[in-house]
């Protein structure tokens, strides 16, 4: 079918085109407690067609995309392409060229077979070996293991294909005490099964559930040091990456300049961010991005100084960038402190939010606290309620990070991140 679509695109008269074809072979398992409720195999294919048109004698360029069913007939494909060709003329952007064919596209890509059954078995074994108690246990879990094959083609001659594993497990943890019961939801994405990491995090989650049932109200701390020790910390580091994206810079939503420190009078740990092609067990290990650009290990921020912007083809072209791409994996380094140091003194360690956000454009952060630990220098008390807020524009100056690292799928970041002088609103304020 792809060959037919390609020929139709070549004959359509459009200025340029891209074609993405993703095939997924997978197994799914649904457990209640530890009893298998149902399971199924799946085999699906998604074909996405995107066309580009020059408008007003090349002054503008527009684009339009849509998914085409793999069972579509040649006539259906032709009608879709004709419709996209028209819709593309309704959009006006500055012209740019698509990613060209390079030597990197001629490399042999990873295409090792994915052992879907073996990966699924590993997940099930981890879940069945969890040390549950009479008051903390697993309510239910769903396992999704996929072998994906992605092929990308464009009108510039790129035609590449790669295969990779992509897994997800959703888990509901129950904790109960004196007739009260709560649920904690977890969603883990990965390439294969990180058995040790999954078990460790779920055991910690069961402890969180236990502690959540006997919390005190979060005190009115005013300005306090706040410690992030869970996956919510990835949003902090997404902010660093977003501020260096070509789209944010071109639209003047970011004022970070190459070669200029991101803040003045920095006294905390300095952050280094690298876009990497592969992280062990990430579900996002790719040789090329969604537009066919080759992915390579690239430092974008070194010791709090921007060294390179990145982004999709359109905004990269507008900034005159070459050899750039849309990132899939992000590695953050720079921590100089032990975990014991960061937990010492008076610090609020937040481990559960009802919602935690970092606005890439303004730098504002906000989160409602469901569970935290107030370390007052002498004892540790679990607390709940209230909220925190502040701005990354201020926090980057004094931010501290642990020497140890942790991985959350396609992000590898310091295991502990401390922001100073965060506004903490207590319960009832």
Asked if 340 contacts 177 with a C-beta cutoff of 8 angstroms, the reply is no
Burial class of 101 by CB neighbour count within 10 A (0 to 12, 13 to 18, 19+) = middle
Positive/negative CA dihedral, 71, 74, 76, 82 = positive
Cβ-proximal residues to 174 (8 Å cutoff; 6+ apart), any chain: 136, 137, 138, 139, 181, 182, 183, 209
DSSP strand E in 247-399: where? 272-276, 298-302, 305-306, 329-333, 346-358, 364-376, 380-384, 387-391
* DSSP letter (8 states) at residue 415: S
CA terminus-to-terminus distance, the chain: 62
Residues 357 and 363: their CA atoms lie apart, in Å, by 10
Nearest 5°: CA angle at 166, between 182 and 63? Answer: 110
The CA distances from residue 295 to 15, 66, 292, 323, in Å, are: 26, 25, 9, 9
Strand partners, 382: 373
Residues 317 and 61: their CA atoms lie apart, in Å, by 13
* Residue pointed to by tokens 């070996």: 129
Question: Helices 2-11 and 74-88: crossing angle, nearest 10°?
Answer: 40
Note down pLDDT in tens along the chain; length 429 residues.
Answer: 889 999 999 999 999 999 999 999 999 999 999 999 999 999 999 999 999 999 999 999 999 999 999 999 999 999 999 999 999 999 999 999 999 998 887 765 656 789 999 999 999 999 999 999 999 999 999 999 999 999 999 999 999 999 999 999 999 999 999 889 999 999 999 999 999 999 999 999 999 999 999 999 999 999 999 999 999 999 999 999 999 999 999 999 999 999 999 999 999 999 999 999 999 999 999 999 999 999 999 999 999 999 999 999 999 999 999 889 999 999 999 999 999 999 999 999 999 999 899 999 999 999 999 999 999 988 999 999 999 999 999 999 999 999 999 999 999 999 999 999 999 998 765
Strand partners, 45: 23
| Domain 2-210 coded CATH 1.10.3720.10 | no
Burial 288-320 (b: 16+ CB within 10 A, else e): bbbbbbbbeebebbbebbbeebbbbbbbbbbee
Cα 345 from chain centroid (whole Å): 32
The CA distances from residue 327 to 127, 183, 243, 324, in Å, are: 32, 34, 13, 9
Q: What is the largest distance, in Å, between two alpha-carbon atoms of the chain?
A: 75
Domains of the chain, residue spans: 2-210, 217-429
pLDDT at 324 (0 to 100):
94
Residues 390 and 388: their CA atoms lie apart, in Å, by 7
Phi, psi (deg, nearest 5) at residue 233: -65, -25
pTM, 2 dp: 0.94
Asked if 156 contacts 226 with a C-beta cutoff of 8 angstroms, the reply is no
Say how many C-beta atoms besides its own lie within 10 A of residue 269's C-beta. Answer: 22
């Amino acid at each position: 079918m792809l060959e037919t679509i390609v020929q139709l695109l070549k004959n359509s008269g459009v200025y340029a085109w891209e074609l993405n074809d993703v095939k997924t072979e997978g197994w799914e398992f649904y457990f209640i407690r530890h009893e298998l409720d149902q399971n199924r195999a799946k085999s699906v294919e998604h074909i996405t067609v995107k066309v580009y048109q020059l408008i007003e004698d090349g002054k503008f360029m527009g684009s339009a995309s849509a998914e085409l069913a793999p069972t579509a007939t040649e006539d259906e494909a032709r009608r879709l392409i004709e419709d996209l060709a028209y819709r593309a003329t309704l959009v006006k952007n500055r012209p740019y060229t698509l990613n060209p064919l390079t030597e990197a596209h001629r490399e042999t890509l990873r295409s090792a077979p994915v052992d879907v059954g073996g990966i699924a078995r590993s997940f099930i074994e981890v879940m069945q070996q969890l040390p549950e108690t009479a008051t903390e246990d697993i309510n239910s879990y769903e396992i999704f293991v996929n072998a994906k094959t992605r092929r990308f083609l464009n009108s510039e001659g790129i035609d590449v294909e790669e295969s990779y594993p992509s897994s997800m497990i959703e888990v509901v943890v129950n904790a109960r005490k004196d007739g009260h019961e709560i649920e904690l939801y977890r969603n883990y994405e990965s390439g294969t099964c990180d058995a040790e990491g999954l078990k460790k995090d779920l055991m910690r989650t069961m402890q969180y559930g236990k502690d959540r049932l006997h919390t005190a109200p979060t005190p009115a701390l005013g300005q306090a040091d706040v410690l992030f020790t869970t996956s919510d910390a990835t949003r902090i580091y997404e902010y660093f990456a977003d501020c260096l994206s070509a789209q944010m810079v071109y639209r003047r939503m970011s004022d970070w300049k190459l070669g200029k420190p991101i803040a003045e009078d920095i006294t905390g740990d300095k952050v280094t961010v690298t876009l990497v092609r592969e992280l062990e067990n990430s579900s996002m290990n790719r040789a090329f991005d969604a537009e066919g650009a080759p992915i390579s290990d690239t430092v974008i921020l070194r010791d709090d100084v921007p060294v390179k912007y990145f982004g999709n083809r359109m905004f990269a072209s507008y900034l005159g960038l070459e050899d750039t791409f849309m990132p899939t994996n992000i590695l953050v380094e720079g921590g100089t402190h032990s975990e014991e140091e960061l937990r010492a003194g008076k610090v609020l360690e937040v481990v559960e939010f009802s919602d935690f956000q970092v606005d890439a454009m303004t730098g504002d952060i906000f989160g409602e606290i469901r569970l935290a630990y107030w370390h007052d220098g002498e004892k540790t008390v679990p607390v709940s309620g209230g909220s925190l807020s502040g701005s990354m524009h201020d926090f980057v100056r004094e931010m501290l990070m642990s020497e140890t690292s942790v991985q959350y799928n396609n992000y590898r970041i310091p295991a502990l991140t401390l922001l100073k002088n965060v506004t903490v609103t207590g319960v009832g304020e």
